[in-house]
A and B are shown apart, each in its own frame.
Chain A
Amino acid sequence: MAGGEVLRQNLPEKLEESPSGANELHVLAVDDSLVDRKVIERLLKISSCKVTVVESGTRALQYLGLDGDKKSSIGFDSVKVNLIMTDYSMPGMTGYDLLKKIKQESSVFREIPVVIMSSENILTRIDRCLEEGAEDFLLKPVKLSDVRRLKDFIMRGEVKEGEKRCCKRSRSEDCSPSSMTHPCDSSLLSSLSSSSVLSPLSPSTLSSKKSRL
């Protein structure tokens, strides 16, 4: 299968159609804590997201079809994830390791925004995660307002991406990888170059991050 074809058919940015017809965000949540898995699942469901919760980075990669030996096309077709939220401190593969693995992948998976959650407010940790391409860094316990803010940001990105695709299709049939940029990329890069710790989200993120620091 040619790379271009895979991209056209299996864009992870595509929103799932829920039974009601409304576009739903599919979030993959990764956490080794039993309690936290239950809470994050509820936070996401109450925010009208489709949720898949797994207990480790390894499981997350398996779910995405990125576990090395089994990159079957079945895995590519069935999994459409719009956001990954992962705990930082996990045994074996940490959230940071998972983030790196995803960002090292082909452009299809690298485009999925990854958010790190941690109970520890460590500046160097936050910096490292953002530098590696994390969309945001949330302090635990994660609140409903965090999830809502995140959802709004991702949804805005999805709408822009959808509009981009519509324009491209009308111009040409060619969907080369270089033209598939994520709306977050340019803004995240600019925030990094200004040595900002903060991710390019709404002002409320900035103020909430500041109060934590």
Chain B
Amino acid sequence: MDKVRLQREAAFIRSSLLDQGYLDEQFIQLEELQDNDNPNFVEEVVTLFYTDSARLIYNIDQALLSNPTDFTKLDDYMHQFKGSCSSIGAKKVKNECNGFGEYCEAQNYDGCFRTFQQIKQEYINLKKKLETYFQLLKEAA
């Protein structure tokens, strides 16, 4: 496989993610923390993000299935999820979360439910793109 082409592809994905607002400066900050002693730092953080998100998404799904709805719990889980998104620079997903918070406060179950499906979709979107990106980086190395 042509490594230069792979590197260019990876760089292109990275630029698009930043330009299109999927990722923000925080992602770049993480890249700056990577060096020869910690060459996989960004991927490690992102992997932790997937693990943490899986847990939180599961918890939110479960909370949305519970009757009566515990909006405090929902808000708390979402706050944690939003924090994780912010920490890796997942701008688009983080922004989708704002709507959820408002519906929680208004104790609007339908709003919460609908918004959460969107959030999950955005998260899956980002995850796919990032997985492709890191895979390309590996192959290009």
**Taking beta carbons and an 8 Å cutoff, which residues of A are in contact with B?**
33-36, 38-39, 42-43, 46, 89, 119, 140-141, 143-144
**Contacts between the two chains (Cβ within 8 Å), count:** 50
**Given A34-B51, A35-B52, A89-B79, also A119-B86 (CB < 8 A):** yes
Decide: B82 and A119 in contact? CB cutoff 8 A: yes
Nearest-CB distance from A99 to chain B (Å)? 19
Q: Known contacts A140-B83, A141-B87: does B29 contact A35 (CB below 8 Å)?
A: no
Residue of B nearest to A89 (CB): B79
Whether the Cβ atoms of A140 and B33 lie closer than 8 Å is no
A144-B33 Cα distance, complex, nearest whole Å? 8
| Chain B residues near A46 (CB-CB < 8 A) | 33, 35
A36-B80 Cα distance, complex, nearest whole Å = 11
CA distance A39 to B44 in the complex (A): 10
Does B19 count as interface, using CB distance less than 8 angstroms? no
Q: Which residues of B contact A89 (CB under 8 A)?
A: 79
B33: which of A34, A36, A43, A119 is its contact (CB, 8 Å)? A43
A35-B87 contact given A141-B26, A143-B29, A144-B29, CB 8 Å threshold: yes
Within the assembled complex, what's the spacing in Å between the Cα atoms of A39 and B41?
9
State the CA gap A33–B87 with chains docked (Å): 10
Nearest CB of chain A from residue B100's CB, rounded to whole Å: 15
Q: Which of A33, A43, A141 contacts B80 (CB 8 A)?
A: A33
Q: Is the CB of B32 within 8 A of A38?
A: no
Which B positions have Cβ atoms within 8 angstroms of A?
26, 29-30, 32-33, 35, 38, 41, 44-45, 48-49, 51-52, 79-80, 82-84, 86-89
Q: How far is the CB of A6 from chain B (nearest CB, A)?
A: 38
**Closest CB in chain B relative to A165 CB, distance in Å:** 35
Query: What residues on B are CB-neighbors of A35 within 8 Å?
Result: 45, 48-49, 52, 83-84, 87-88
What chain A residues lie within 8 Å of B41 (beta carbons)? 42
How far is the CB of A35 from the nearest CB of chain B, in Å? 5
Instruction: Tell which of B29, B51, B52 touches A141, judged by Cβ atoms closer than 8 Å.
Output: B29
Complex Cα spacing A34 to B51, Å: 9
Ranked 7 nearest A-B pairs via Cβ? A35-B87, A35-B84, A34-B52, A42-B33, A141-B26, A35-B48, A119-B83
CB B133 to nearest CB in A, in angstroms, measures 18
CB <8 Å contact, A39 and B38: no
Given contacts A46-B33, A141-B26, A143-B29, contact A36 B44 (CB under 8 A): no
Of B32, B41, B80, most buried by chain A (CB within 10 Å of CB) is B80
Give the shortest distance, in Å, between B84 (CB) and chain A (any CB): 5
Q: Choose from B26, B33, B35, B52 the contact partner of A33 (Cβ within 8 Å).
A: B52
Whether A141 contacts B86 by the Cβ 8 Å rule is yes
Q: Given A34-B51, A140-B87, A141-B87, answer yes or no on A39-B80 (Cβ-Cβ < 8 Å).
A: no
Residues A33 and B84 in contact in the complex (CB < 8 Å), given A42-B38, A141-B26, A143-B29: yes
| Chain B residue nearest to A91 in the complex (CB) | B76
- Contacts A42-B38, A141-B26 known; A36 to B87 CB distance under 8 Å? yes
12 A-B pairs with CB atoms under 8 Å apart are: A33-B84, A35-B45, A35-B48, A35-B49, A35-B87, A39-B33, A43-B33, A119-B79, A119-B82, A119-B86, A140-B83, A143-B29
